[in-house]
Every structure is written in structure tokens, then in C-alpha cells.
Amino acid sequence: MKMRWFIIILLSSFSLVAYNNCGKSGFEKALSREDNRTIIAGGLSQPLPITGTEENAVKITMGCGYINEPCVSVTICEPGTSNCQTIPNILLDTGSYGLRLFSSVVSLNLATRALGGGSLAECVSYADGTSQWGPIKSADVVLGQRKASNIAVHIVDAAFGAIPADCTNPDTVPSAAGYNGILGVGLFTEDCGPGCASIANNRIYFSCAGTTCTPTAVPVAQQVSNPVPFFPTDNNGVVIQLPAISPAGAAALTGWMVLGIGTQSNNTPKSANVLWADGNGYIQTTFNGKAYASSFIDSGSNGLFFPGSGALSACGNTGIAVGFFCPPSLTQLTAIQAGKSGAPQISVNFEIVNGEQALAITNPNIIFNNIGGNFADSFDWGLPFYLGRTVFHGIDGKASSLGPGPYFAW
Amino acid sequence: MTTTAGLFIGITFILSASLSHAALGESSKTISSDVGKLKASQKAMVSSEKYTVHELLADGNVIKEYANSDGVVFAVSWRGISKPDLSVLFGAYFEEYKAAVEKSTKQHGKRSVSLETSRLVLKRGGRMRDQRGFAYVPSLVPAELNLEDLDK
């Protein structure tokens, strides 16, 4: 296994270098006529020497529930005790903040946090109209051998208290969601931040007394939080490293999340391009001549989502490929990532495959570096972007060898 | 391009919440008042030849209501920490929105989703701390207005 992994990394790094160099000559020439700023072809980061036995390494297994889904195991404990359980099949999500677990997979006795004379509860709403509802409880959260003590976690339980009216279509079971929970390790600490601390009717946090739940402001220290900044060490961000795959896809794949940036030999980049993010965690992306200021890199998005046109027609409204592009043939594209200020500029070559062909049930592959779909006014660099790359995620307000967060770097 | 510079003929900043507002499909002149229902404060009103934008601030969300030249609200947008009360913003269209949401299936791994009913088109997207939405009634959208040009 180890030898095979080594070969995959070696091949992927060679192919990336070759790919990047190819893209550079033509692309830079074309743009230099109208723009004097340097456009870098691809990121500088190289695969890190991760053995998997380090205290700060967490194994990623792709596809525990659906296409392009990165999954990890998380250990939780009753705070300050050795009463712990390890829960597998947790979505690893760099696009959210905090740990959410379905109540049905939690066997520990965790205390519910109280606020405003009732139990603290939360409704997280998703774009598809579904939501996750349930109480906020306290737990120790362990990743690798790093422990975040007594932090707020969201226990997803649609039957808790009285669910607010606009907490629509609540998730009820792991099988429908495609995971036992979500581990949000993105660029911020709390899932809502100062907004929910100052606004009572934030429509996210509620105080539940009996079966009455009323909206409540919540101090940031009580909000559901990314565990990483609470680790005693290796707490300034995470690195995700997944192997490259072929355009045909892969049936199985594993990789690593490493805790911390520049704190150990396995998380220190030799070089990397840093994309500073704004107060919402956004970077810029220019595609088809238009700049999208609300762009982001996100392991919890299972495709590349952006404003597509031309050959990038949408797949059917029903069936396996809803929400994906269905171009007639594999389509080569280029976009330019940039930090919030517009620099540095990094060109990224990518491909979009016909979604219905890739996701056909006769295809055993469940990991693709080339599926995508439409997203108005934004460029969402989802899981395909991570394949064959080493991507650094610096947490807001934390210093690192690459500088202070929030940033993405690769 | 059709709605860019030159078309904007007046900008009025309104300090009080005195002007009335409406849900989708209702008249901004005669129907009161989302401002009260949403406990919102009114930030600004911007008029162009083809439409008027009423901007509200409610519980950490910026809401924009777009009225056509007949004063009928043809589109609404929002951006903020969560989402506003959609039953207020959608008015008579809320029930069909709700029915469509209840019928739709979980879209794994998506931060952006489009939804269509027979009369309403909705796009929602965003992430924690920054949720966005835009809904419109195609039959009420002013002729020759490119929705992509709307300042959301």
C-alpha cells in the first residue's frame, strides 16, 4: 500500500508540473498584451512528506455516501473524561465551521448548553431548502491526537423541542444526508460569528424551554466552533492533500488532512502561493473575462460550480446528474484565482465532463476531477480542485509560516 | 449592459420607514408593509427607467425588492447571516415555493440551488455567515430587462 501511495504521489506531482508548464507559455503570452500583472501558472506547493503515523495526521477516505465526498473519522468524549467514541463517515468540509453529528450516532451522555433560560439549539439552512436542527452540546473533539476541550457541537435531531417554521425539510437520518455528520474546518472559528452575538432574531440560534423555541443572540464563545483553533498545538489551520486521478475518475481514493501549517515537518510548505481571503472567506476568480469576488475553495462542494455558458449546458432536471453540467464532450477551460485584493493571480486549467455519462450507475467510479455545475455570480472550487494538490487553509486571526489567516494557499 | 450608467435617473435615501413595501406580485404603492413584518429599517430607494429598488435591512440581512414601472414587485433578493422570513417576501407565492421545497430532494455537496415553480424562479446559494437568495416572477419582469444586470 505504502509503495503504491508513493508512486501515485510521484506520478501526480510529475503530471501537475508538466500540466502547469504547458499552460504557462501560451496563457501568459495571451494575457500579457492586455495585463501587465504576472499570472502564475498553477500553484507552487508540492506534496508534503506525510506518513500518516504523525499525531497531527487524519486519514481522508473518499466517497462514504455520495460522489466526491471526502470523509473522516472523529472522536468525541464527554468533556474531561475518557468516555469517548469514534464516529466514522463524517463529511470533511472546508466550507463550514464546527462539528455537526446526527443524534442517532452519538452514544455518549453530552450536556446541552443553556442560554436565556432554555436549551441552546440551532437551525442551519442549506441552499436546497433542507436544514439541520437540534441542540448545542459540549464535547471534547479529537482529530488525530489533538484535542479541542469542551467545545460547542451541533447535535442534529429534527425531533428536538419545537422546530422553527422556517427550518424547512430538516435532515432526519444519516442515510439521506450521506454522512453521520459534518466536520467544518474552514477559515473561521465560529459558525455564525459576531452577527449572531449581536442580533437576537438571527434565525439561526434559538433558546428552547419545553417545546417553545425563541430566537436568541449567542456570544461567540457559545457558538458551534471549528475545533482546530482550540487544539493546544497545530491550531492555525489545516492542509488537505489528495492524490491526482485520471479524467475517467476513480472508484476509491484516500488522502490526508494535516493539522497545523508550518508547525511540523509534515505541514511546512517549501513554497506556496497565498490567496488572502476577505471577511467572508472569499477570494476572487476571473472566468470568461468576468471577475467573481465571492469565490472560494471548498472540500464540501462535490463539483466545480461556476457561471457556465456555451457548451456547458445543464443536465436534465431529474435523474442522477441534477445540478451538473452535461457538455457533449470533455471540455477544457481556464480560470484565474486571485486573493481578495486581486493578487497574486494563479491560472488554473480544468476540465468539465458530461455529468450524466460520469455519474451513470453502470460506472463504478465515484470520484471525478472534472464534474461541475452552474453557480450564478460565484466560482466554487469544490472537491475536484483538491485532487492532485496540497491545499493550505489558514484560520482567521491565527499566525502561520505563510502569514495570518484567513487564507487559502497552494 | 442595458441598465448601466445613464439609465439611473434618481437616487433617494430615505431615513424613515414611511414608504410602504410589498411582497412578490403585490403593489409597492398600495400594500403595506414588509418593513413592519420584518422589523426592518429602510435604507434606500433607487429608481431607473425600468424599475425601482427598495432596500431594507432586517436582522443582519440586506433585502432588495424590485418594482416594475407599474409599482408591482417582480423580484426580491437577500444577503446576510441567514435568510429573511420568506413568507413575508414571497407573499402569495410562498405556498408554491414551500410545496416545491418539500418535493425537492437533498442536493448533496451543493452550495447553490435553483428552484422553479409554475410562476416563480428562485436561486439560493452561499455559505455560513453569507447566505444569498434571488427570486423573481418571470411574467412580471420588465421587457428587455436582463436580470443579470440587476444590482443584487
Residue showing cell 504523525: A54
- Asked if B110's CB is within 8 angstroms of A127's CB, the reply is yes
In chain B, which residues have their Cβ closer than 8 Å to the Cβ of A131?
Answer: none
When CB atoms are compared, the residue of B59, B86, B87 closest to A202 is B59
Cβ neighbours, 10 Å, residue A342:
12
Q: Is the CB of A195 inside 8 Å of chain B's CB atoms?
A: yes
Is residue A327 a contact partner of residue A311, using CB atoms and an 8 Å limit? yes
- Asked if B125's CB is within 8 angstroms of A378's CB, the reply is yes
Task: Check residue A245 and give its pLDDT.
Answer: 98
When CB atoms are compared, the residue of A69, A128, A184 closest to B110 is A128
Task: Check residue B21 and give its pLDDT.
Answer: 52
When CB atoms are compared, the residue of B59, B86, B111 closest to A380 is B111
Vertex A324: Cα angle to B78 and A256 (nearest 5): 95
Is residue A324 a contact partner of residue A335, using CB atoms and an 8 Å limit? no
Confidence check on the interface: ipTM exceeds 0.85, yes or no = no
pLDDT at A20 over 50: no
In chain A, which residues have their Cβ closer than 8 Å to the Cβ of B126?
Answer: 127
Selected residues 336-355 of chain A with any CB under 8 Å from a CB in chain B: none
Q: Which of A25-39, A195-209, A357-371 is predicted with the least confidence, judged by mean pLDDT?
A: A25-39
- Asked if B123's CB is within 8 angstroms of A376's CB, the reply is yes
- CA-CA distance, A320 to A299, in Å (whole number)? 21
| Separation of first and last alpha carbons in chain A | 26
Q: Which helix (H) or strand (E) holds B103?
A: helix B94-103
- Asked if A199's CB is within 8 angstroms of B59's CB, the reply is yes
When mean pLDDT is compared over A167-176, A257-266, B44-53, B68-77, the highest value belongs to A257-266
Vertex B98: Cα angle to A160 and A98 (nearest 5): 45
pLDDT in tens, A49-106: 999 999 999 999 999 999 999 999 999 999 999 999 999 999 999 999 999 999 999 9
Task: Check residue B104 and give its pLDDT.
Answer: 79
E strands, B59-147, in order: 61-68, 73-80, 112-116, 121-127, 130-136
| Model confidence, pTM | 0.88
Nearest CA in chain A to B133: A127
> Within 13 Å, how many C-alpha atoms sit on residue B18's CB side?
4
Higher pLDDT, residue A376 or A13: A376
Higher pLDDT, residue A21 or A151: A151
Q: Is A380 helix (H, G, I), strand (E, B) or coil?
A: strand
Is residue A336 a contact partner of residue A42, using CB atoms and an 8 Å limit? no
When CB atoms are compared, the residue of B60, B110, B128 closest to A191 is B128
- Asked if B129's CB is within 8 angstroms of A303's CB, the reply is no
Nearest-CA neighbor of A69 among A100, A92, A96, A86? A92
Nearest-CA neighbor of A334 among A342, A346, A326, A344? A346
